[in-house]
Amino acid sequence: MPPVAENFDPLGVLQALDNHRVSFIVVGSLARIIQGADEMTNGVDIVPPMREETLRRLDLALAELGARRSDRKKLAPLQNDPSPEPVLALTTDLGELKIIPQPEGTGGYDDLRRAATREYLGKGVRSSIASVGDLARMISALGREDDITKLMAMRRIAELDVGHGLEL
């Protein structure tokens, strides 16, 4: 597990996105941590709807965050990119940010939105978080042997959630 970067401020990243009214769903390690997994992360992974207005707002948020591409290529405005990359890895002043238009095993934002929940994360930040089931589906679709423990953790969290329901 990589150590958490000193400047990593996930709430700051999410707040900047919220300040610009960007629609998105948090996925990846941060979403699994919010859902109860025992992991560490240095970044925020999001799935935005790939609509022009959302991408315009996302461009403004990325400018506020001082975002730059991890591969050192010039960061072009997202709203001008007709064919987005499968994963756009960025470095910001507050930590890593990955923009994933369509995570493996999903249909993208509209697919994930149906089961996502809005969670209060602190400091006035409320974000949409992918469901435990969708997080497990994404991990499973990647098919990486290293992710088996993460998948098992998501399944265990799902089992615990079912056990906390109301009995009638």
Percent of the chain with pLDDT over 70: 90
**Distances from the Cα of 69 to the Cα of 23, 26, 75, 96, 101, angstroms:** 21, 19, 6, 10, 16
- Range of weakest confidence among 26-30, 48-52, 79-83, 138-142: 79-83
Q: Are 19 and 128 in contact (CB under 8 A)?
A: no
- Range of weakest confidence among 85-89, 142-146, 160-164: 160-164
| Average pLDDT value for residue range 1-20 | 83
Contacts with 33 (C-beta within 8 Å, 6 or more apart), sequence order: 39, 40, 41
> Cα(first)–Cα(last) distance of the chain, in Å?
42
Q: What is the pLDDT of residues 116-140, one digit of tens each?
A: 999 999 999 999 999 999 999 999 9
pLDDT higher than threshold 90 for residue 6 = no
Amino acid at 88: L
| Average pLDDT value for residue range 19-24 | 97
Mean of pLDDT over the chain: 89
Model-level pTM?
0.89
One of 1.10.3720.10, 3.20.20.60, 3.40.228.10, 3.30.460.40 is the CATH number of 10-161, namely: 3.30.460.40
Q: How confident is the model at residue 102 (pLDDT cuts 50, 70, 90)?
A: very high
Query: Would you kindly state where each structural domain of the chain is located, as residue ranges?
Result: 10-161
- Tokens found for residue 164: 């906390």
Phi/psi of residue 165, nearest 5 degrees = -70, 165
pLDDT at 168: 47
